[in-house]
Amino acid sequence: MTLVAASLAVITLDYRGGENGPLAGLGRTALTVIVPMQRAVDTVTRPIGNFFSGLAHLPSLAERNRQLEAENRELLAAAQANGYKQGLYEKLSAVLALRSTLDPSAVPAVVTGSGVSNFEWTVTIDKGSDAGIARDMPVVTGTQDGAMLVGRVVEVSTNASIVQLMIDRNFSVAGVLADSRATGLVVGEGEDDMRMGLVEPGTAVGGNESVFTQGICVADQPGLYPPGILIGQVSRTVPSSNAIEESVSVRPAADFSTLEFVLVLQARTSCS
């Protein structure tokens, strides 16, 4: 009974206090403690996780197995040359090359873990307010050819931050289609492709057309993203249910299952 009352008190306190409430401080402390441990565990278990997630994606195990056996001999030689570390090195150099092309100064960070819940899509990174990161800053990844949007910072402690991925159901960003120049609001849909709504009816949207950030604030939505960051590609047009707007599905450009390095842009985060 006491514990139920305590839980209800915590919910009320946190709901009313928000990010300045007494519990937000405790949350930041918990984040500070858990991230170094998460990083250590992740270093050990990531290859195991990669193995299982790769296994789950195999459409036909037997068919793939035959192909893999053939490829195995070639790959073994490559693996002996420490392919995993080479891959990490290449990803990191690509992200650092991207950093040098970006206008606002960006903080590179390592992804240490994913969100613990099935109801929100977040990752934790190993940099916090000590490195100049603040709430609502945009997070990107990519190579020097271009930046791809990852999400925005939602929680910051001294040495770690939580990043809300753009596929989270509470995430939205103003987007613009590359060819038709039509604008709309891109909203996260969890594991499914994102939905770009509020597109002007009658817009001819091409398949695989790229969607970029537009660099404007959306009313009632936190965060401001610099223009020209790639969000994703149009995967299909959704049949319109009304004459006021059209919707398209957008496949995210960044692959969140293999996300290892990101850049936090120290850009302006609000319009006011």
Partner 1 sequence: MIRRVLSIAVIILTALLLQSTVFAQIKLVGVKPELMYLVTIIVAILEGPREGAVVGFAGGMAQDFLLNQPKGITALTLTLLGYAMGLARQYIVSPSPLLPTMLVAAGTAIGTAFWQIMATLLGQYDAPLSYAVKVCLLTALYGAVLTPIFYPLLRRMLEGSRPQRVVRY
Q: Which residues bind partner 1 (CB under 8 A)?
A: 3-4, 6-15, 23, 26-27, 30-31, 34, 37-38, 41-42, 45-46, 48-50, 52-53, 56, 113-120, 122, 124, 154-155, 162, 164, 169, 190-191, 257
| Cβ atoms 147, 97 nearer than 8 A | no
For partner 1, the closer of residues 64 and 195 by Cβ is: 195
Closest distance of CB 61 from partner 1, Å: 16
For partner 1, the closer of residues 112 and 214 by Cβ is: 112
| Cβ atoms 159, 107 nearer than 8 A | no
Indicate the Cα dihedral angle 43, 117, 108, 20, nearest 10°.
Answer: -130
Closest distance of CB 226 from partner 1, Å: 23
Residue 130 makes CB contacts below 8 A (sequence gap 6+) with: 158, 159
| Cβ atoms 100, 259 nearer than 8 A | no
DSSP conformational letter for 193: P
For partner 1, the closer of residues 48 and 243 by Cβ is: 48
Q: How far apart are CA 72 and CA 264, in angstroms?
A: 38
Q: How far is CA 270 from CA 175, 191, 218, 233, 267, in A?
A: 17, 28, 10, 26, 9
For partner 1, the closer of residues 140 and 154 by Cβ is: 154
Closest distance of CB 87 from partner 1, Å: 16
Closest distance of CB 133 from partner 1, Å: 16
For partner 1, the closer of residues 115 and 146 by Cβ is: 115
For partner 1, the closer of residues 146 and 190 by Cβ is: 190
For partner 1, the closer of residues 34 and 267 by Cβ is: 34
Closest distance of CB 196 from partner 1, Å: 18
Q: How far apart are CA 210 and CA 199, in angstroms?
A: 14
Closest distance of CB 184 from partner 1, Å: 20
Q: Give the start-end residues of each E strand in the chain.
A: 106-114, 122-125, 138-143, 146-156, 161-165, 172-177, 183-187, 194-199, 210-213, 230-238, 246-252, 261-265
- Taken in order 83, 85, 86, 90, the sign of the CA dihedral is positive
Closest distance of CB 92 from partner 1, Å: 20
Instruction: Please give the helix or strand (H or E) that residue 228 lies within, else none.
Output: none
